Amino acid sequence: MKAVHRAFSAGFIIAAGLFFLCGVLLVSLAALEMWHAVNPWNLAAMGTRFNLILESIGLLTMSVASLELGQTVMEEEVQRSARIDTSTRMRRFLSRFLIVVVVSLSIECLVAVFQLLHETPELLPHAASIGIAAALLLAAWAAFAWLHPDLPA
């Protein structure tokens, strides 16, 4: 049984490491996009520069989500304390995961609105659907917490 537990821990460590690596790579790509946007020798139009900045914000959002998920996996699955019961650990993990998802979706919705507003406004309902999804997830999370007050926060 200890061998199986070690194998799962190793898998979680690898997954957390890959989340971290993806986060770092996305930050690097965001910095590169930002450099292309503010590079004074770049003769691109202002709209193109604006889109590059929005793309870098989207990349940074995904990188923060990836880094946060890696941290959550490490803390909750690898470094977990034996004193915490399963329901508390699951609720904490679910809460941290949903925070990352809701914040990421909200930022992506804003970025999409800014991009589509100037380029293709007929696609704005698609961006709105991202915001609606974030709101529904937040409402579902709140309903879960309200309906299960016996679970520790």
Q: Report pLDDT for 33.
A: 93
Q: Quick one: DSSP state of residue 121? A: G
Whether residue 84 has pLDDT greater than 70: no
Containing 134, the helix (H) or strand (E) segment is helix 124-147
Confidence of residue 7 (pLDDT cuts 50, 70, 90): confident
φ/ψ of residue 53, rounded to 5: -65, -40
Length of the chain, in residues: 153
Q: Report pLDDT for 56.
A: 92
116/110 Cα distance (integer angstroms): 10
20/66 Cα distance (integer angstroms): 7
Whether residue 72 has pLDDT greater than 70: yes
Helices 86-118, 124-147: inter-axial angle, 10-degree rounding: 160
Taking the CA atoms of residue 54, residue 131, residue 72 and residue 70 in that order, the dihedral angle to the nearest 10 degrees is: -40
Beta strands in the chain (DSSP E): none
Q: Report pLDDT for 79.
A: 77
94/89 Cα distance (integer angstroms): 8
Q: Quick one: DSSP state of residue 151? A: S
Place of tokens 């917490």: 145
What pLDDT digit, counting tens, does each position of 12-65 carry? 899 999 999 999 999 999 999 999 999 888 888 888 888 889 889 989 988 998
Q: Report pLDDT for 99.
A: 85
Q: Report pLDDT for 46.
A: 84
Q: What is the residue extent of each domain of the chain?
A: 1-74, 81-153
Residue 36 contacts residue 59 (beta carbons within 8 Å)? no
Residue 20 contacts residue 70 (beta carbons within 8 Å)? yes
What pLDDT digit, counting tens, does each position of 86-135 carry? 677 777 778 888 888 898 899 889 888 988 887 888 999 999 999 999 99
